[in-house]
């Protein structure tokens, strides 16, 4: 099976409130949501670039 590294994802965690942008405010999408949605894919890791710091999410 092909191994996948997700190089672009968005985690929207309500613990870190966002500011509406031109009327748009994304729905929550937590790490747990991400893992559930991608559980059938062979994702071996993921990288996200939050506004203030880098976060490496290692899935295995």
- The single-letter DSSP state of residue 16 is S
pLDDT tens across 31-60, in order?
Answer: 899 999 999 999 988 877 664 334 444 443
Give 26's pLDDT tier (boundaries 50, 70, 90): very high
On whether residue 36 sits in a domain, the answer given is: yes
Judged by DSSP in three states, 57 sits in strand
Tell me if 55 sits within 8 A of 15, measured CB to CB.
no
Contact 44, 58 (CB under 8 A): no
In a domain, 20, yes or no: no
Assign 55 to helix, strand or coil: strand
Q: Is residue 37 part of a domain?
A: yes
Q: Which residue range forms the structural domain that includes residue 33?
A: 4-13+26-57
Instruction: Evaluate whether residue 8 is within a structural domain.
Output: yes
Kindly tell me if the per-residue pLDDT of 11 is higher than 70.
Answer: yes
Considering the domain boundaries, does residue 30 fall inside one?
yes
Kindly report the pTM of this predicted structure.
Answer: 0.70
Q: How many domains does the chain have?
A: 1
pLDDT at 49: 65
Q: Is the pLDDT of residue 27 over 60?
A: yes
Check residue 56 and give its pLDDT.
45
Residue 45 counted as domain residue? yes
């Amino acid at each position: 099976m092909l191994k996948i590294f997700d190089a672009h994802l968005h985690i929207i965690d309500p613990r870190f409130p966002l500011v509406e942008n031109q009327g748009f405010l994304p729905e929550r999408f937590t790490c747990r949501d991400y893992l559930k949605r991608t559980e059938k894919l062979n994702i071996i890791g993921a990288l996200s670039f939050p506004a203030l710091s880098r976060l490496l999410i290692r899935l295995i």
